[in-house]
Structure 1
Amino acid sequence: MDSVPETPQARPGQRDLTTGPIGATLIAFALPTLGSNILQSLNGSINAIWVGRFLGEGALAATSNANIIMFLMFGAVFGFGMAATIIVGQAWGRRDHEAAKRAFGSAIGLVLTASVVVAVLGWVFAPDILRLLATPPGAFQLALDYLRVIFLGLPGSMLLVLMFMGLRGTGDSMTPLWFMGLSVVLDSALNPVFILGLGPAPRLGIAGSAVATLIANAVAVAGLIGYIAWRDLPLRLKGAEIRYILPEATLVRTIVAKGLPIGAQMLVLSGSALAMVGLVNRNGIQTVAAYGITQQLWAYVQMPAMAIGAAVSAMAAQNIGAGRWDRVGQVTRSGLIYNGAITGAMVVLVLLFDREILGLFVGDASPALPIAQHISYIATWGFILFGGTMVLFGTVRANGAVWGPLAILAIAMFPVRLGAAYALHPWLGADALWWSFPIGSVATVALAAAYYLHGGWRRGALLVPEGHCEERSHADIEPAGSLKPAG
């Protein structure tokens, strides 16, 4: 096997996730990621407040439909970035920093190309997509105006997310926090400017909200590129390394082989969400608006779970790369404990103060408000189970196991969740839609736990690019007979 490069001098925000106390390291890494996620959700909520207050519930329903479509488009290219992040994390854990840079560069080339293609197709077919969703006539044109501008900004937003993911793969969760903050401040401040046409800005209505997002992401990307160069962060591509953006065949095969199933997982989630929106849309615009603002509430509830899952994945990838299997199970257990405590506390808080929070998006007299409260009471607790799934999936994906989570999500989202919504509808009416969420969460976490405990995900091979470090199976690091399921 090739010699292991020496560890370079620590850079700003960089954290070695293969040493130190696991619980403290996990939470210290997860908190900035949680901050980034909260800022991102806060941005969406503030934008929804501007749209709801200035343009009304029809515009709010339009953004709800458009945002779910964007999640679908996002999933089409997100998998490549996630696969590259796994490679970066494993390479960083074994101190092969050149391999990490090559994977990062290839991911940039792939994601930019894919996002441009998706943006063009999204612009062209946006009306057809909205019609497939049965978007209410009163919200159709508004959703179209908003969606098409959002599509224009897709390459910039995808590049920003990819750079955040790559930095976290090296153990740096602070830099993404600062630049997410920059994006949020700009987006939130520019929304009323372009919606209302303040000062020299044109009055664009709902499209103005999308223009604000486009500008904010472009500025954040440019600023982050400059900061990485200025501070000479570990993934900086300089000189001859710029050629890494032209993807290598070996890396392309690895990233695509792992990225497509991860992207498919996103598509399963977004496809299920789209099907749910289609069902919700048939219950009238008030229910659509109520569902939209409930999703804003849920965005906050799921943030701790997403942050802890991301931290578990980054820690597990580095420890797998370093051959520290003794720490991988401990990372998973710590993640499950933290998720139960933090997400559980979030659920309690939002249920206690849901009227005050939901009332930010619509007036107190809005008929959508009690509907939104009702939805929240039925479904919000399921996010505790969702968090457990994120932790378990984060660990197995860190070893390149992507087909198991895909199969689990496909089963839980379609035959279970949507099947429950249809089967219970004759007895529960619209409540069947809301009960299908916790039913799906129960199925997902049960299947994920079974796969984590009994699946073959530990027997995969390290995702190592050729020419840097000889690819070896985990059996060479830890004998198969000594592998024991954690938890």
Structure 2
Amino acid sequence: MKTNDLTQGSIGKGFVLFAIPLFLGSLFQQLYNTVDMLFVGNVLGKNAAAAVGASSILVTCLINLFTGVAVGAGIVISQLFGAKKEKDMKESVWIAVLAGAVGGLILTVIGVTCSQAVLVRLHTPANIIPDAVLYVRIYFLAAIPMVLYNMCSGILRAQGDSRTPFHALAAGGVLNVITDAVFLILLDWGVAGVAVATLFSQSMTAVFLLIHMLHHRILTRQRLRWDLLGKIICVGVPVGIQSMILTLSNVVVQYHINGFGKNVIAAFAVYFKAENLLCLPIIAFGQAMVTFTGQNYGAGKYERIRRGILVCNGIAAAVLVVLSWSALAAGKWILSAFCPDQQVVAEGMRIISVTFPVYFVYSLFEVTGGVVRGIGKSVPSMVIVIVNLCVIRILMLEISDRVFHSVQAVAAVYPLTWLMATLSFVGYYLYARKQMLQ
């Protein structure tokens, strides 16, 4: 198995080479839901697109809570990798996979039993609730393979292997396209077919990674080290809560969106899919920064972390400026590809005209936050995200909705809170750096 030691060599080159497979992997991961929306918007119509859009944030919110443990495991294992503690690392891998299986089972039970009540409370229009509930319940049956995939890929990335998770997702993405066509066009299963296709393809990616880890003896049965489990939970649960709260703020946004009617609901659903074109490299850069920081923190190379912040943020921001302005120029074509309804496209253009020009701020937020998480400071990271992207964002939404009540005002809340969170991460890192050097 080829790994990448990010404690040595060129910072920029190592960062980019490690991030490229992460980006490609994220591309195929997002392909699951993107292809779903393409099929739903063009085959099933506007009502089905609204149903999937109204339910997708709920799905993401709950899954992020449990996959945060996977991020925590990756941080712990990356630090052990940098410190060359192989025995502790193997024991952490065993415990992390077991925790992922249990977490996925819990998530399945919660998602299946609570989905309808939550969607009703989210002010979802009554005429799309049946399809939304059906989609969510089937989707949550894939919770165990989803969490296990994220756990296994996080473990592999922590050891410098960002290629194998990409290979798994590439195969899963192709499989998802094929099964979407079969279930929607040939079998005419409707929204249920979209969810079943995702369930099947996601399960295959998890099985692939588990077989790979067993074959290469990355995953071997070990004794249960409760201290390592405690460390993974202490680092991972705050990351999961952070991700959940971040998505929860989007649930609050969804509540406000639902008050604008079907066209705006579908427009935001399409926007979130189109936005993935920009999110994917940002996610890759953020994940790469967590591994880079974790390995160098474990190796005690604090000065290399400082240099990495400047280099990696510069690379990420430059890439996003080019991508976001290009996406803005092609906005109508991109939005139309997901849903050809002209009213939906018009509302979508109002959204991207606000967020895309300043989307590079989101890259600064993810990369700088990755540094704080990489050094194991997941609780401060959680607090920063909750304060800026939940509390302040919700307050701003309430004010903008009362004063302006416009789609653009809702969209503007995003970049403003990204900027505030980024400044908070920078401030905390400067404080933490002083503590490390003492």
Give the whole-Å Cα distance in 1 for the aligned partners of 2:365 and 2:411.
20
Q: What's the counterpart of residue 399 of structure 1?
A: 375
The C-alpha deviation readout for 1:228-278, integer Å capped at 9, x for no partner, is: 344x26x232xxxx145xx42112221222222111101211110100001
Q: What's the counterpart of residue 389 of structure 1?
A: 365
Give the whole-Å Cα distance in 2 for the aligned partners of 1:409 and 1:42.
27
What is the correspondence of 1:303-318 to structure 2 with a 5 Å cutoff? 303-318=280-295
Which region of structure 1 is more displaced relative to structure 2, 143-152 or 435-444?
435-444
- 1:392 is matched by which residue type in structure 2? T
Q: What's the counterpart of residue 112 of structure 1?
A: 101
Q: What's the counterpart of residue 424 of structure 2?
A: 447
What is the correspondence of 1:306-455 to structure 2 with a 5 Å cutoff? 306-363=283-340, 365-430=341-406, 431-453=408-430, 455=431
Larger radius of gyration: 1
Give the whole-Å Cα distance in 2 for the aligned partners of 1:122 and 1:222.
22
Give the whole-Å Cα distance in 1 for the aligned partners of 2:13 and 2:25.
19
Q: Structure 1 residues 457, 152: CA separation in 2 closer, same or farther (over 3 Å shift)?
A: farther
Give the whole-Å Cα distance in 2 for the aligned partners of 1:458 and 1:311.
24
Which region of structure 1 is more displaced relative to structure 2, 310-319 or 272-281?
310-319
- Contact 1:17/1:315 (<8 A) preserved: yes
- 2:376 is matched by which residue type in structure 1? G
Give the whole-Å Cα distance in 2 for the aligned partners of 1:457 and 1:267.
27
What is the correspondence of 1:260-339 to structure 2 with a 5 Å cutoff? 260-339=237-316
Q: Specify which structure has the higher proportion of helix.
A: 2
- 2:394 is matched by which residue type in structure 1? L
What is the correspondence of 1:121-140 to structure 2 with a 5 Å cutoff? 121-140=110-129
Q: Kindly state the Cα deviation for residue 366 of structure 1 after the two structures are TM-superposed.
A: 2.8
Q: Which runs of 5 or more residues in structure 2 are unaligned? A: none
Give the whole-Å Cα distance in 2 for the aligned partners of 1:57 and 1:203.
17
Q: Kindly state the Cα deviation for residue 442 of structure 1 after the two structures are TM-superposed.
A: 1.9
Q: What's the counterpart of residue 10 of structure 2?
A: 21
Q: What's the counterpart of residue 5 of structure 1?
A: none
The C-alpha deviation readout for 1:287-343, integer Å capped at 9, x for no partner, is: 000000011111111211111111111011111111112211111111110111011
Q: What's the counterpart of residue 192 of structure 1?
A: 181
Give the whole-Å Cα distance in 2 for the aligned partners of 1:308 and 1:177.
15
- Contact 2:18/2:162 (<8 A) preserved: yes
Give the whole-Å Cα distance in 2 for the aligned partners of 1:224 and 1:78.
16
Helix, strand or coil at the partner of 2:274:
helix
- Contact 1:195/1:209 (<8 A) preserved: yes
Helix, strand or coil at the partner of 1:367:
helix
**Are positions 1:211 and 2:196 aligned together?**
yes
Give the whole-Å Cα distance in 1 for the aligned partners of 2:113 and 2:433.
40
**Are positions 1:74 and 2:63 aligned together?**
yes
Identity %: 23
- Contact 1:399/1:458 (<8 A) preserved: no
Helix, strand or coil at the partner of 2:342:
coil
The C-alpha deviation readout for 1:168-222, integer Å capped at 9, x for no partner, is: 00001111111110111111110121123x2xxx542101111111111112222
Which region of structure 1 is more displaced relative to structure 2, 380-389 or 153-162?
380-389
**Are positions 1:171 and 2:171 aligned together?**
no
Give the whole-Å Cα distance in 2 for the aligned partners of 1:323 and 1:413.
32
Q: Structure 1 residues 458, 93: CA separation in 2 closer, same or farther (over 3 Å shift)?
A: farther
Q: Kindly state the Cα deviation for residue 119 of structure 1 after the two structures are TM-superposed.
A: 0.8
- Contact 2:248/2:390 (<8 A) preserved: no
- 2:69 is matched by which residue type in structure 1? F
Q: What's the counterpart of residue 484 of structure 1?
A: none
TM-score by length of 1: 0.87
- Within the candidate set 207, 210, 224, 1:225 is matched to 210
Q: Kindly state the Cα deviation for residue 458 of structure 1 after the two structures are TM-superposed.
A: 6.3
TM-score by length of 2: 0.96
Q: What's the counterpart of residue 31 of structure 1?
A: 20
